[in-house]
Amino acid sequence: MPHPDPDHDRVVVTGLGAVTPLGLDVPTTWTALLEGQSGVGPITAFDAGPYATRIAAEVKGFDLAAAGVSPKDARRMDRFVQFGLAAALEAVRDAGLSLPLADGDRAGVYVGSGMGGLVTLSEQLEVLRTRGPERVSPFLVPMMICDMASGQISISLGARGPNLAVVSACATGAHAIGEGAALIKRGGADVMIAGGTEAVITPIALAGFAAARTLSTRNDDPARASRPFDRQRDGFVMGEGAGVVVLERASLARRRGARIYAELVGYGSSADAHHLTAPPEGGEGAVRCMHQALQEAAMPPEELDYLNAHGTGTPLNDRAETAAVRQALGRHAYRVAISSTKGMTGHLLGAAGGLEALVAVKAIVEGIVPPTMNYEHPDPDCDLDYTPNRARHLPVRTAMSNSFGFGGHNACLLFRAHGR
């Protein structure tokens, strides 16, 4: 028997929150994206002189006190937790929800991180080495573990529903949002705070990614180093930050008169089962993932208006993703507007999917597609419309966001303007 409320299993986005290399909130970040600004510069967190890569997209001027968190509490949170909490608080306030949440038992948190508290771990390893085990902080473990952003957010909001941290490398934020929506659809919650957060611009992370030959070495031209889909791309630029959304059962959002940004109508999740760090040439896992999202939405490819690509700026990823988009969308692949915002933000790793889902939603609301910056040299293997170097005004009724991670993890989110 059908449910009497047709909106019972529909999931909408009612709140947005972000901390990024371009700004400490959503409005500042969005304006910078449309203007093509770069958040990339020389690393200031430590002396990167000995490293082959000496640039990153760092968050500037961040202070958790601005979000109303006491300095004492902030000191007990790793940087990735602080970013996630600040973004979550912005998203919840943007959604018009009271704090603490009025019905906390029906509100959950799925905010993940790809690598967790690497800043704290690095600092405490140095304490262990120089001062001995007795001086290691008792807060090391609760500051470091990947689930602590979700835990701290739930404590701050009074969210007593399902709470966990998705960890799927650079697909983390997108998986968290997709799984949060699935939870609402199956009746496990009415409100989910979901997304990703990351802060690993540290010596060990930089050394590790550099050893894997995944990073750009354009140290003399930081603003132009991240070059998604450009023929001269030479790797991604590490970034940090958080992207969090409030997902809500549509019937609840409608009853309380919430502003609805968009509806999450499709979610895909797949594995490459191919290689630890490299995608298959044809992007077969990504194809399945996009197909799943389209099928759940019962939407033909021809109705897709905008695709926020994973677009890391690595030679392998951009070629494989382009091939996957061609296969998943068919002839429409050459008509859909595509962009990778990583040319401006760098790669936020576990937070990338959260931020880029937010960007896809904003494109629907504003009718503007942000550009792919630093696209100057066409690559015959990457031959789609990447919205090069300048934002484009365009009616966006539907938007997709792709996220792929080391280990062969793929996530795809599909949003539609609400009411369509």
Where are any strands of DSSP class E within 250-311? 262-271, 306-308
Structure tokens given for 280: 């298959």
Instruction: Confirm whether 382 is a catalytic residue.
Output: no
Residue 258, Cβ neighbours under 10 Å: how many? 18
Structure tokens given for 82: 């602080």
Instruction: Please tell me which residue in 175, 347, 409, 418 is annotated as part of the active site.
Output: 347
CA distance 160 to 205: 34
Give the strand order in the sheet containing 306-308: 163-164, 107-112, 191-198, 241-249, 11-19, 262-271, 409-416, 398-405, 306-308, 337-339
N-term to C-term CA, the chain? 25
Structure tokens given for 17: 């929150």
Q: How many CA atoms lie within 13 A of 101 on its CB side?
A: 27
Helix/strand/coil for 399: strand
Structure tokens given for 48: 């990167």
Scanning the structure block, which residue is given the tokens 């009724």? 397
CA distance 29 to 32: 5
Instruction: Please tell me which residue in 146, 289, 291, 310 is annotated as part of the active site.
Output: 310
Instruction: Please tell me which residue in 170, 289, 382, 412 is annotated as part of the active site.
Output: 170
Instruction: Confirm whether 291 is a catalytic residue.
Output: no
Contacts of 134 (CB under 8 A, 6+ apart): none
User: What φ, ψ does residue 230 adopt, rounded to 5°?
Assistant: -75, 145
Contacts of 186 (CB under 8 A, 6+ apart): none
Instruction: Confirm whether 170 is a catalytic residue.
Output: yes
Q: Which residues are catalytic?
A: 170, 310, 347
